Amino acid sequence: MLGGISGRHRSPVKGSSLEFAQYRKYVPGDDTRRLDWRTWGRTDRYYLKEFEADTNLRLCFIVDTSGSMNYGKEGGKTRLDYARSLAGTLAYLATNQGDAVGLMNTSPESAMKEIPAKRGPVHLKVLLDQIGIMEANGESELISTIHAAAEKIPQRALIVIVSDLLFEPEPLREALQHLRFRKHDVVLFHLLDREEIDFQFDRPTRFLDLEGGPSLLADPSLIQRRYREAVETYLGQIDEIVNQSALDYHRVMLDEPYDQVLARFLLGRNPKTARSAR
């Protein structure tokens, strides 16, 4: 991670830390203090010993606050609650590591649409408060918010997107590529409910659009097959987009405990544990 201060995150830049990175032949101009004299003694050649540079993290959350994020079992947690849990926990962890944390939500009606990334517990409180009070309504503005984030965030940052992605997937491809173009490290938490995928209803149901569209009365037994086909096609498109965009994609079912999801994510971020985590 490319940070302004020394921290706990590996940086693409080699620096001073305890983590050995590689040997490199000496070229004129290199700091002679970094020559590995033991190697010179064995081989009679000059090598530099390079170490991973640890730096701080600029973490920015983009939380989808469209109406569809209000989806959830009656009396249970909504998709937005799940997103809050993920974002809040990660923000807390990052702040404790000394990382800067920022937040963007997609709701055009939100009073505080964007919180720039900063460090410190005071900022964390502000951010958590904002996460706690944000509400989901209206249609999704995620695409425009991603484009805006790509433009606004000046340095390489870890951008964590939490959304249900319930819109036509094609514009998402461009938005994610925009982020990648700006060298951001992108993590996408795709929140879905099993009911939305399996569509297990046993009698006619009136479906009320959480994003304010017209309601729809349907006999699930009549449309179940076509619905599942549509879901399958959609997920296929999402898979293709995330593969092309080379981002860290996590499809999360709402019935999964979020700590497991986070553990899987964090283990995946550690190079030493990434292989086993994935």
Partner 1 sequence: MSFLQPILLIGLPLALLPVIIHLINQHRHRTVKWAAMMFLLDAKKLTKGIDRLRQFLILAMRVLAVAALIFAASRPLAGGFMAGAGGNADTILVLLDRSASMEEQNLETGESKRSSALAKISELLQKTSSRSEVVLIDSATLEPTKVTDLKLLESLPQAAATATGANVPALLQAGVDYLATNASGRTDIWIASDLRNDDWRTASGNWQSIRADLASNETVRLFLLTYEQRSPNNLAVSVTNVNRRRTPSGYELAMDLTIKRTSPSGENDDALNLPVEFTINGTRTLQSLTVAGDEFVRLGYTVKLGAGDERGWGRIDLPADNNPSDNQAYFVYDEPPVRKTIIVSDDQTTASTIATAASTPVDPSTRYEAKTISPGDSAQIPWDETALLIWQAAIPGEESAEAALLRQHLEKGRTLILLPPPDTNSSEGNALFGNQWDTWADRTNTPASASWWRTESGLLENTRNGTPLPVGKLRFFKTRSFSGELHPILKLEDETVVIAKVLTETKGSLYFWGTLPRTDHSTLATEGISFFIMTHRSLAEGANSVSKARMLDTGPSALVGKMEKIETSESESGLISVGLVPGAFKNESDAENQLLVALNRPVTEDNPETLNSGAIESLLEGVEYRRISDEVGSGSSLAAEIWRAFLVAMALALLAEAILCLPPRPETKPETKPI
Distance of closest approach, residue 222 Cβ to partner 1, in angstroms: 6
Comparing CB distances to partner 1, the nearer of 79 and 184 is 79
Comparing CB distances to partner 1, the nearer of 4 and 213 is 213
| Residue 191 CA from chain centroid, whole number | 12
Interaction site with partner 1 (CB under 8 A):
67-71, 79, 164, 166-168, 196-197, 199, 203-211, 213, 215-219, 222-227, 229-232, 234-236, 239, 251
Distance of closest approach, residue 19 Cβ to partner 1, in angstroms: 33
Beta-bridge partner residues of 192: 253
Distance of closest approach, residue 73 Cβ to partner 1, in angstroms: 10
Q: Please enumerate, as own/partner, the contacts of 33-41 that have beta carbons within 8 Å and a separation of 24 or more.
A: none
Task: Quickly list DSSP for 124-141.
Answer: HHHHHHHHHH----SS--
Three-state secondary-structure class, residue 88: helix
Distance of closest approach, residue 226 Cβ to partner 1, in angstroms: 4
Q: Which helix (H) or strand (E) holds 171?
A: helix 170-181
Comparing CB distances to partner 1, the nearer of 183 and 226 is 226
User: If phi over 0 gives left and psi between -120 and 50 gives alpha, with beta otherwise, what is residue 75?
Assistant: left
Comparing CB distances to partner 1, the nearer of 47 and 82 is 82
Distance of closest approach, residue 4 Cβ to partner 1, in angstroms: 37
Comparing CB distances to partner 1, the nearer of 111 and 217 is 217
Q: State the residue for tokens 């490199």.
A: 24
